[in-house]
Amino acid sequence: MDRSDYQALDTGAVLAELGDLASAFSLVHLAECDSTNTRLLTDLPPDDGRVHVVAADVQTSGRGRRGRVWQSWPGASLTFSALWRFAPGSPVPAGLSLVAGLAVARTLEELGVEGVQLKWPNDVLVHGCKLAGILVELTPGRGRTPAAVVGIGINLQLPPDASVAYPTGVTDLATALGRAPDASRLLGLLLVQLHRLFDVYSAAGFAALRGAWQQRNAFADLPVSILGEVETLAGTCAGVDDDGALLLRTADGLRRVLSGEVSLRLA
């Protein structure tokens, strides 16, 4: 694909991919915005029963976890956010970002990508390199149950001279598939998977999806360090528990690590 004539998102094609689920979504496509997460958080759409999605061809202030920046080049990545409002009493915060990662992984597998793995809490790797990132931010929702803005960035075709810092490197779908995928189809497939898995999650919690997540755990049984704000923990990755917390086998026994401002590294 020539980067100068990349295909912008086509909302009609996304809705066609959604089929019967199209009426469950409201989809806004912007040529440019600061950050699709920020857009949804600052201009909260009405609670009309639909999942509100904002996708942008380019973000001028794309945000990642832990204050990082999600860089943008035209046609380089699919960037979108979806506002999910859950029924009161749903188990929203803890495992949600892991479920979003699983939805991305399943979508990529559906497209034929090999070597997809998940790095806790929610980076999506292909043959060890980062292909997608997820930023979940909470906002008031229904009753006491927060709503979640689920922001996803997937590398489609990075510029050859792109410099993106990541310990094991980054990759894109053009490399993984041998061709850049159609962004509209990809977004449609992703929304279907997110819808399916969030339904399971809100009805049965992360426990129902834990096995599927662990099958793709990039660091299963490997020595890792967890870099927190105040301490670094070392141990062996023993998977995740029913709440989505990371289990670390340390010299002092099994430790639970909750997502948040921590970073996981291969030791």
Give the one residue of 25, 57, 59, 213 binding ligand BTN; rule: CB under 6 A.
59
Could you check whether the bond before residue 121 is cis, i.e. omega within 30 degrees of 0?
yes
Residue with tokens 């809490």: 121
Please report, as residue ranges, which positions from 142 to 181 form the binding site for ligand BTN (by CB under 6 A): 151-153
* Minimum distance of ligand BTN from residue 167's CB (angstroms): 12
Which secondary structure element, helix H or strand E, spans residue 175, and what is its range? Answer: helix 173-177
Amino acid residing at 72: S
64 binds ligand BTN (CB under 6 A): yes
Residues that bind ligand BTN (rule: CB under 6 A) add up to a total of 19
Give the one residue of 52, 63, 106, 119 binding ligand BTN; rule: CB under 6 A.
63
* Minimum distance of ligand BTN from residue 134's CB (angstroms): 6
121 binds ligand BTN (CB under 6 A): no
Please report, as residue ranges, which positions from 22 to 51 form the binding site for ligand BTN (by CB under 6 A): 35-37
Q: Give the whole-angstrom CA distance, residue 154 versus residue 113.
A: 13
Q: Which is nearer to ligand BTN, 62 or 146 (CB)?
A: 62
CB 238 within 8 A of CB 248: yes
Close Cβ partners of 151 (under 8 Å, ≥ 6 residues apart) = 35, 36, 37, 63, 79, 80, 81, 134, 135, 136, 137
Q: Give the whole-angstrom CA distance, residue 267 versus residue 265.
A: 6
> Which range touches ligand BTN (CB under 6 A), out of 2-10, 78-86, 107-115, 222-230?
78-86
Question: What is the binding site for ligand BTN (CB under 6 A)?
Answer: 35-37, 59, 62-65, 68, 70, 79-81, 133-135, 151-153
